[in-house]
Amino acid sequence: MSALTDLLSVDGIRLDVEAEDWRSAVRASGQVLVDEGISTAEYTEAMVRNVEENGPYIVIAPGFALAHTRPFEAVLKTGMSWVRLASPVAFGHETNDPVHLVVALAAVDSAAHTAALAALAKVLADGDSVRALQQATSPEEVLRVLEGEPTGADGRGGSPAAPAKDAAPALSEQKILTVCGNGVGTSLFLKNTLEQVLDRWGWSRQVSVEATDTISAKGKASEAVAILTSQEIARTLGDVGIPVKVVRDFSSTTEVDAVLRDTYDV
């Protein structure tokens, strides 16, 4: 078992599900959570409202949506569902539509699922793994792919060389915020991808990453050198006194690498 498959069972995976629009796609993923005793129908409707209120920021990679909302009493235990759609649907995202995979996350707090999202980020950054997931013919096959080790090839452009060591920040530690509407799903996913890049650069000791929500981010901005987030959340944040950098594909270490280079001019 892996951290990801600890939260996702064979019964939590549905393939070739029919959905007429993004709402029905999110509701289909929420219904699996209900069927598995992970959350109630109230949580499913809260996931739909999250997109209605904050926009399609949950579409964090081409064809992939991470449906979720804040922890509340409708979450019975931490868990996930995996819904691959029979036909992709539009969520209204500028670059990542249409969506063919909806993973729903229900969490009792902001910490229990961190390792699972880190594992998912690595899988979706790996081109071979993504292709295998798209071609899987059974839930068991999906689980086998998710339990395997990614090949390390970034499916969205390769892995640029790390900058020279003397380009690292001069301060002993700096902070970057990753931000989403709730601070428990997409911001954690982006945090994991950013930390992969920082590890490769050898900057992990100099730059820490904190995942947070839009309200908290405004108060924490003075502690950070930059914010990384989606286009929709960037519009919501507005001017917070530090650079707000937009990332379109939260699974791409190549894109995050480029954003980080721009942030530090390296």
Q: Which of 68, 93, 100, 113 is catalytic?
A: 68
Query: Does a cis peptide bond (omega within 30 degrees of 0) precede residue 98?
Result: yes
Percent of the chain as helix, strand, coil, to the nearest 5: 40, 20, 40
CA proximity to 39, closest of 11, 73, 66 = 73
Q: 25 with 99: CB under 8 angstroms? A: yes
Q: What are phi and psi of 10, to 5 degrees?
A: -60, -40
Nearest to 213 by CA among 189, 185, 193: 185
100 catalytic? Reply is no
Q: What are phi and psi of 254, to 5 degrees?
A: -65, -45
Q: Report DSSP letters for 199-234, one per residue.
A: HHHT-TTTEEEEEEEHHHHHHHGGG-SEEEE-HHHH
Tokens in use for 228? 């990384």
The three-point CA angle 63-67-71 to 5° equals 160
d(CA 62, CA 57): 12
Distances from the Cα of 258 to the Cα of 43, 108, 168, 231, 263, angstroms? 36, 34, 15, 16, 9
In the chain, which ranges are E strands? Answer: 13-17, 59-61, 64-67, 79-89, 99-106, 174-180, 207-213, 226-229, 244-246
Q: What are the catalytic residues?
A: 68
